[in-house]
Amino acid sequence: MEQKNQAVNSKDKQFVKDIADIEENFAQWYTDVVTKTELVDYGPVKGTMVIRPYGYAIWENIQREMDARFKATGVKNAYFPLLIPMSYFTKEAEHVEGFAPEVAVVTHAGGAKLDEPLAIRPTSETVIGTMYSKWIQSYRDLPVLMNQWCNVMRWEKTTRPFLRTSEFLWQEGHTVHASEEEAMEETMNKLALYKEFAENVLAIPVLCGRKTEKEKFAGAVATFGMEAMMLDGKSLQAGTSHYFGQNFSKAFDIKYLDKDGTLKYGYTTSWGTSTRMIGAVIMAHGDKRGLVLPPLVAPIQAIIIPVAAHKGGVIEKCGEVETLLKKAGVRAETDVRDMSPGWKFNEWEMKGVPIRIEIGPRDIENGVAVVMRRDTLEKTTIALGDIEKTVPELLKTIQKDMLESSRAKRDAKIVEADSLDGIIAGVEGKNFVKAGWCGCRECEDKVKEVGQATARVMCDDEGVPEKCAICGKPAKHKVIFARAY
RNA sequence: CGGGGUGUAGCGCAGUUGGUAGCGCGCUUGGUUCGGGACCAAGAGGUCAUGGGUUCAAAUCCCGUCACUCCGACCA
């Protein structure tokens, strides 16, 4: 056992030749990993990405898990058009200002110039709001709870696969409610749903809270976000939930006749998560060998590697185990390619498969298999007899352990500061920094200017410090500052 | 949008003073191998990112464009 672990370690140097060193150049490591593991490739148009089968399978797992959670809260799926008349965007002043610079516009179609240019949706509040105004007449029609899984396009200047691309896949939920309280409750409930999802499915601990005015969504009354810490200490906004008040209902004329016989504007919300979450998984769990995928989103949960496959019974035994595991609900596959086992070990480790099962003649003789966990790189021997029980259990353990170890890593890098210097020192040390804040834009900008860090979310419920760490005036909020993607 | 880097076979790269397009890995076929990136043999694979220019002759020199990438500024 010990010898085997030494062998694993002795190969590290050789392996690193394929991907950049995670410590030395995290950005390059990320790019290498997403392309070499065949999650993604670059599309022919600037800023676009092709999500390859291995990457798309992760997205499908995310979709399935999240969609079930939405439906359990009464949300129904729908689909709204990709093209939105440009004029729709001008109806909400802040919204158009926020999105205009990055909207792609179709000006020609059918061989002729269009009378009105059409926006390729950067988000769908405007078209959905327009439809809602047609559909909603009475308080009996409320609440409206819809979600769509779709693509959106934002013409970004700098792009990176999954983290920021011109076109990306996401879900956007849009709801209408009769009261402010109910709409706010919806906003908070979806934020809580996202948090539960991030932690239990992606195994990524997140910090949730309200965004500052500067960071909020264009057109929102309030934006709430969840922030995840990446291995380089930077923060990634992994999901947002917006409370719009009556901003959009007034802009798009979403009115209902209430019980008291008066016409009232509805209160709306929207909430979204995107393929960016795949980037979060990569950057929260990866290591120098590549991906480490949480079992619940891994396309392949257990890869079976035959050893000395030409020898009698090996391939057959691998097939038997694969069938048993599939029956037990495990996404299992056998790698029957004609390559050396060592090569396969390295490849599947890079691709982040949670469990590797080695089966060779010696194992079959002893009625066992060698099992390796990707998260800890621990090798153990397990009995073939009850493998359909031990493997699913191990997957659950890995899922749980990954969240716990991520949380421990993150918590060790959350610090508090009561001065600007303290904030800067904190973010330079790759930490999240909690600090008091007076609430003014100048102080927020100062942190950005001096430390390249932004206010991620406010966490006032933890208790607001007395003074603003930046200007020393009385603090109104407790904020998490960090450098962000 | 500013600064740096790169673009030659699927991938990683070499290509000197302008003169027939190369290497390693991978790929195909056959054989031997198989418990941490196996080996032998025979093959296939190119509009040198792209558009112009200079020249008898351009991967190589000049001008433009595009893409990717890294570092900043702006945004999910």
Residues of A (297-316) placing their beta carbon closer than 7 angstroms to any atom of strand B are: 307-310
pLDDT confidence band for A12 (50 / 70 / 90): very low
pLDDT tens, position by position, A333-354: 999 998 999 999 999 999 999 9
Q: Is the CB of A338 under 7 A from strand B?
A: yes
Give CA angle at A427 (A98, A412), nearest 5°.
120
pLDDT of residue A280: 96
In the predicted model, is pLDDT for residue A207 greater than 70? yes
Omega into A122 within 30° of 0, i.e. cis?
Answer: no
Chain B: bases < 7 Å from a protein Cβ: 1-2, 33-38, 66-76
DSSP code per residue over A138-165: BGGG--EEEEEEEEEE---SS-BTTTB-
pLDDT of residue A6: 26
Eight-state DSSP code of residue A65: H
pLDDT tens, position by position, A418-445: 999 999 999 999 999 999 999 999 999 9
Give CA angle at A58 (A295, A354), nearest 5°.
25
Q: Is the CB of A161 under 7 A from strand B?
A: yes
In the predicted model, is pLDDT for residue A15 greater than 60? no
- Please give the average per-residue pLDDT across A240-260, as a whole number: 97
Closest CA to A255 of A144, A147, A126, A139: A139
Q: Which CATH class is domain A302-395?
A: alpha beta
Closest CA to A226 of A196, A267, A183: A196
Write the CA distances from A410 to A35, A196, A284, integer angstroms. Answer: 27, 17, 10
Which residues are within 8 A (CB) of A172 and not within 5 positions of it... i.e. 6 or more apart? Answer: A123, A124, A147, A148, A150, A152, A270, A271, A272
Tell me what percent of the residues of chain A surpass a pLDDT of 70: 96
pLDDT of residue A144: 98
Q: Is the CB of A349 under 7 A from strand B?
A: yes
**Hey, CA dihedral for A42, A154, A220, A460, is it positive or negative?**
positive
Q: Is the CB of A212 under 7 A from strand B?
A: no
Closest CA to A147 of A84, A67, A93, A87: A67
pLDDT of residue A325: 98
In the predicted model, is pLDDT for residue A310 greater than 60? yes
In the predicted model, is pLDDT for residue A400 greater than 90? yes
Task: Tell me the domain boundaries of chain A.
Answer: 34-285, 302-395, 414-482
Q: Look at the domain A34-285 and name its fold.
A: BirA Bifunctional Protein; domain 2 (3.30.930)
pLDDT of residue A231: 94
pLDDT confidence band for A260 (50 / 70 / 90): very high
pLDDT tens, position by position, A111-158: 888 999 999 999 999 999 999 999 999 999 999 999 999 999 998 888
pLDDT tens, position by position, A42-51: 887 888 899 9
Cβ atoms of A237 and A194 closer than 8 Å: no
pLDDT of residue A244: 97
Write the CA distances from A468 to A37, A42, A63, A419, A474, integer angstroms. Answer: 45, 44, 41, 8, 6
Do domains A34-285 and A302-395 share one topology? The answer is no
Residues of A (396-435) placing their beta carbon closer than 7 angstroms to any atom of strand B are: none
- Please give the average per-residue pLDDT across A178-198, as a whole number: 98
With H, G, I as helix, E, B as strand and everything else as coil, classify residue A320. helix
Reply yes or no on domain A414-482 having CATH 3.30.110.30: yes
- Please give the average per-residue pLDDT across A86-108, as a whole number: 89
Least confident piece of the model among A6-10, A110-114, A229-233: A6-10
Closest CA to A277 of A312, A243, A239: A239
d(CA A233, CA A414): 10
pLDDT confidence band for A8 (50 / 70 / 90): very low
- Please give the average per-residue pLDDT across A270-298, as a whole number: 96
Write the CA distances from A248 to A95, A123, A387, integer angstroms. Answer: 9, 13, 55
pTM (predicted TM-score): 0.94
With H, G, I as helix, E, B as strand and everything else as coil, classify residue A308. coil
In the predicted model, is pLDDT for residue A61 greater than 80? yes
Give the residue with greater pLDDT, A101 vs A224.
A224
pLDDT confidence band for A17 (50 / 70 / 90): low
**Hey, CA dihedral for A125, A129, A132, A134, is it positive or negative?**
negative
Backbone phi, psi, residue A379, to 5°: -105, 135
In the predicted model, is pLDDT for residue A14 greater than 80? no
Beta strand A235-245 pairing with A222-229:
antiparallel
Across chain A, how many H-helices and E-strands are there? 16, 23
- Please give the average per-residue pLDDT across A311-322, as a whole number: 94
Extract the runs of DSSP E, i.e. beta strands, from A344-431. Answer: 355-359, 368-373, 379-383, 414-417
Q: Is the CB of A171 under 7 A from strand B?
A: no
C1' (B4) to CA (A34) span, angstroms: 24
Least confident piece of the model among A20-29, A188-197, A332-341, A400-409: A20-29
d(CA A183, CA A477): 23
Q: ipTM value, please give it.
A: 0.89
